[in-house]
Every structure is written in structure tokens, then in C-alpha cells.
Amino acid sequence: MKQNNYLGTEKVGVLLKQFAIPCIFSLIISCLYNIVDQIFVGNGVGYLGNAATGVIFPITVIGWGASLFFGDGAAADLSVSFGKNETQDIHTSVGNSILCSFLSGVVLIAVSYLWGDNLLRLIGATDANLSLAHDYGFIIYAMIPLALVQNTLASIIRADGSPRYAMCAMLVGAVINIIGDPVAIFALGLGIKGAAYATILGQFVSFMICAFYLTKSKTFKISLGSFRPNAGILKRVMALGTSSFLTQLSIVIIMVINNILLVKVRLRFMARIFL
């Protein structure tokens, strides 16, 4: 496999241009999913639809955090391995990270489905938007494991020296979502379910593009043995990815608290009007 020796010899300015700019655009593109859903749901379903998507968003952010926990951890481990010229275990680091990211998604959807509407109420859903949050969320949940793997792969692909590929994979998914939202919501009349279907379709296409990259990666070669759990390597990956996970977790805590406080404010406001 090729080595990323140019990371140690190329000028810092050139490397920033090659890696930082695509990474920034990738983060912006990832935000488009929620922004586009809010725009079309707001116009097609109404403000209760916007509130419903806001209820589901913390759950997806938890998934995002898990994917970065393993993805950023694996990416950092790849970089450290390149620096030490110890690349024999890179494929195991990548395989274990993909496996754990997928299993994290499985656990997340199991909890979300089994806890059901009680979970939605806990994080801020009300009687007014519970049905919409249920319809939207129970479709979004189905794609969470693959969406997490896609995000983990995006981090690994960037570390492998192909940040533009990762950016394009995310861009294709976002474009599909942008086109799919108005078609599903307005043309097909699916309402908030249509927004969810458009979202998971975009995520699935992005996942397929990222998964295809594994067949032509530059510095590692994946095999079935790469997915065999290795406690030592996983410990190293998780140590490097902890900061990314905690960052996302703090965002979730703030969002849930805001949702709960907003519900209380609405209830007090309505009580003053009608009592």
C-alpha cells in the first residue's frame, strides 16, 4: 500500500488547503440535512413539523457523536501510525472502528424503538407534535447504523489522504435530500414522512459511496479479519476519539434542556391565557 509520506514533507499551507477546506465544507454539508428538512417541513407541514424534527435531532446527534468517537479516533490512530511508521495494524483499526460504529447504531435504534414515544416525550415532544415526531423519527432510526458507518468512514477517508472524496460523498447525499424533500413532501404528498424518506435516501447513497472507497484505499487494505475485535487497538482508538464524543454529547445535553424548558414555558403561557 502507498504511504502518506507527503504529510511529513509537504508545506503546511498546502496541506491546510488540501485537508482543512474539504473538511470545513463537509461539516457545512452535513448541516444541510437538518436545515433543508426544516425549510421544506416548515412550508409543507407547518411549525409543528419543525418542532417534531427538532425533537428527533438530539437522537441523531448522539449517533453522530458515536460515529466520531470511532471515526475521529481511527483517523487520529492512522496519523499516529504513519508518523511512527507502524502501519501493519491500520486495517484492524479501521475495521474495528467501522464495526463498533455500526453496533452503536444498532444499540441506538433498539433503544429508540423500544422506548418509543416515552423517549420522545422525555426529550421535549408534546401532545401537539408527538405524532409527527413519531412518524419522522421511526423512519430516521432505520438508517442510523449505516449513517453512523458513513460518518466514521468519512473521517477515515480524510485521514487516508482523500478529503475531497469524503466531501463529495456527503455532497451527493445532501443534494439527493434537497431534491427529494420537495418531491416527497409536495409532489407525493407524504408530508413529514417524505422528509424522512428523502433524508435516509441521501444518507444511504453517501454510505455506498464511502463504502466503495474501501476497495481502493491508499494506505490500508480491508479484509474480513480486519473486523475481528481487538481490545488493544479499540482502546487506543477510543482514547483518541473521546474528545469528539464528549463535544457532541455536550451539544445533546444543551439541546434536550432547551427542549424541556421550552415546553414548560409554553405550558405556563397557555395556562395564563386560558385560566
Lowest mean pLDDT segment, chosen from 58-62, 97-101, 111-115, 268-272: 268-272
- The residue whose grid cell reads 479479519 is 225
pTM: 0.86
CA distance 157 to 167: 10
Q: Where exactly are the structural domains of the chain?
A: 6-274
Integer angstrom CA distances of residue 64 from 60, 112, 136, 163, 191: 6, 15, 18, 19, 25
- Give the dihedral sign, CA 183/211/81/103: positive
pLDDT in tens, 213-271: 999 998 889 999 999 999 999 999 999 999 888 888 887 777 777 766 665 555 455 44
pLDDT in tens, 49-68: 888 888 898 898 889 889 99
| Strand, coil or helix: 250 | helix
